[in-house]
Chains A and B, each alone.
Chain A
Amino acid sequence: MKLLTSLSRLLAVATLGLGLVHAAHAADASAPDLLIRQLSLETIEAVKADKDIQAGNVSKIIALVDTKVMPYINFQRMTSSAVGRFWRQATPEQQGRLQSEFKTLLVRTYAGALTQVKDQTIGLKPLRAQPTDTEVVVKTEIRGKGDPIQLDYRLEKGGDGWKIYDVNVLGIWLADQYRNSFAQEIGANGIDGLIKSLADKNAKAAGSAAAAKG
C-alpha cells in the first residue's frame, strides 16, 4: 500500500518536473536555482489561471511544452540515459523516434497530473553546489495536503545556459526509473520493439482519452 501511495503521488505530480517549465517566456538560465525558481513560480501561476490545463487538455499541454519547456530541457540526454548502453547501437532515426515517443509518454503523464494541482505551493531548497560546478541538483518540493512531494532537477551547464536533464519525483529519477524497463524490452524485441511498445502505449492512452471525452 505504501508503494501504491508513492507511485500514485508520483503520477499525481509526476513529470510536473518537465511541465513545471511550460510557462517560462524568457526564464533566466544563467543560474540553475534561478531558472528552477522562475519556472516553478510561473508554472503555478499558469496552471491556476488556465482552466483548460486544469481539465487536462492534452493537446494544449503538449503545445505549451513544445514551445516553452523544450528550450530548457536536454531531452536527448534524458532519453539516452534511460535507454542506457543501447543508445549507441540505435540509428539516428531510431534515436529520434525513441526521443519523441518517450517525450509523449512523459507529457501524457504530466497532462493527467496537472488536473490534480490545486492548492499546492512550491518550496525551494538551498542550492548546495560550488560556483564552478557544471552539473548540479536543484531540490524543490510541492507542498499541499499530506507529505510534501519531493521534486528535484538535475541540470547541466551548456553553451546556452543551464538545462534540465533529469527529474526526480519522490526519490525516483525518471530516466533511471525507465532504464530496466527499456533494457528488458530491447532484450526481448530489440530497439524497434521498444519503439513499438512505447508507441502502442501512447496510442492506446490517446484512444482512451478521446473515448472518455466523447
Chain B
Amino acid sequence: MIRITRMLGLLALVLGLAGCQTVRGVGTRIEHAVDKVMGSKGQKLDPWESWNRKVFAFNEKLDENVLKPVATAYSEMVPAPIRTGVGNFFGNIGDAWSAINLMLQGRFKAGVEQGMRFAVNSTLGIAGVLDIATEAGLEKNSQDFGKTLGKWGMGTGAYVVWPLFGPSSVRDSLALPLDWKASPAVVFDDGRKKVLITSLNIVNTRANFLRAGEMLEDIALDKYTFYRDAYLQRRGSFDDDDEVEVLVPGSGASAPEAAASAPLPAVKKPAEPASAATR
C-alpha cells in the first residue's frame, strides 16, 4: 500500500506538468526520436511481420497448452462470485493507475472520478474485492501510460509481438515498464508473492474469456492479421467524451420529442467540455 501512496505522490507532482501546454508536444517529440533510431521502419504498420508471426505462433501454442487448460480448470473449480472478487481486486489497483493517467491526459474530472472509485472500493469494498463504486454510479474508465503517450501526440508506431506479453506497439512497448510497475504485483514486496499474484491475475483474466476466445476463431480469417488490426485500431483511437446520457427503457422510445434537446431525467452531465472541444 505504501507504493500506491508513493504513486499518488508522483501524481501530485505530475499534475503541474500535465497542466502545462508543452506536454502536448512531448509525445510527438518522443515519436520523432524513435523514428530517427529506427529509420523508415518506424513509419510502417508491421515491418517485423515475419518475426512477429513466429512469436505470435509461439504465444498461441503456449496459450493452447498451458494457459487455456489452467484457466479452464480454474473456472471449473473456483465459483463465479470468487472469480468476480479476484477480478475486482485487480481492477481496483488498475483504477488507481487509470486515475493517474487520466490526470496526465488532462482529463481532471474523469481522473478524480477514478480516484474516488479507488478510494470507495479500497475502503467500503474491502480492498477492492467488492465493486461498490459502479453501483454508486462511478463507471470504470481504464487508462494506461501507453494511452497517455498517445494523448500527448505520439502515434502507436509499428506493431510488435512480445513473447508472453503478446501484442504491443513501439509506443506501448516504451510505456510497458511503467504500466508493468503499476500492475497488481505492486502491493507486494516479496518476489515470490509478486509472481503468484501476477499468475493469479493472468489466469483469472483468461478464465473470463474462454468462450470469447473460441468465438474469435470463428470470425477471424487470419488470426494474426485480425489481432494486429484490432490492436492498432483500438490503441490508436481515443474515446474521451465523458458526457453521457443513460437511456432508460420505457422512457424515450416512444417520445421522440424528448430527444430533440431536453435531456431525460437520467442524464449524467456535464462532463469535460474542454476535452470534447479539443478533439
Contacts and interface: CB of A to CB of B under 8 A. Distances in A.
B246 A171 contact: no
Interface residues of A, number: 63
Contacts of B230: 3, 6-7, 10, 172, 177
B246 A122 contact: yes
Given A123-B246, A126-B245, A8 B140 contact: no
B131 interface: yes
A108 interface: yes
A3 B233 contact: no
A14 to B, nearest CB: 8
A40 interface: yes
Contacts of B206: 1, 4
B166 A124 contact: no
B244 to A, nearest CB: 4
Interface residues of B, number: 53
Interface string A188-214: 000000000110010011000000000
A34 interface: yes
Contacts of B237: 171-172
17 contacts: A3-B167, A3-B227, A4-B166, A6-B230, A34-B259, A40-B247, A44-B247, A44-B249, A105-B219, A123-B268, A126-B243, A143-B246, A147-B142, A172-B233, A176-B233, A177-B230, A185-B221
Interface of B: 91, 131, 134, 139-142, 144, 166-167, 202, 205-206, 208-209, 212-213, 215-216, 218-222, 225-231, 233-239, 241, 243-250, 252-253, 256, 259, 268, 276
Interface of A: 1-12, 14, 28, 31, 33-34, 37-38, 40-42, 44-45, 48, 105, 108-109, 112, 121-126, 128, 139, 141, 143, 145-148, 150, 152, 170-173, 176-182, 184-185, 197-198, 201, 204-205
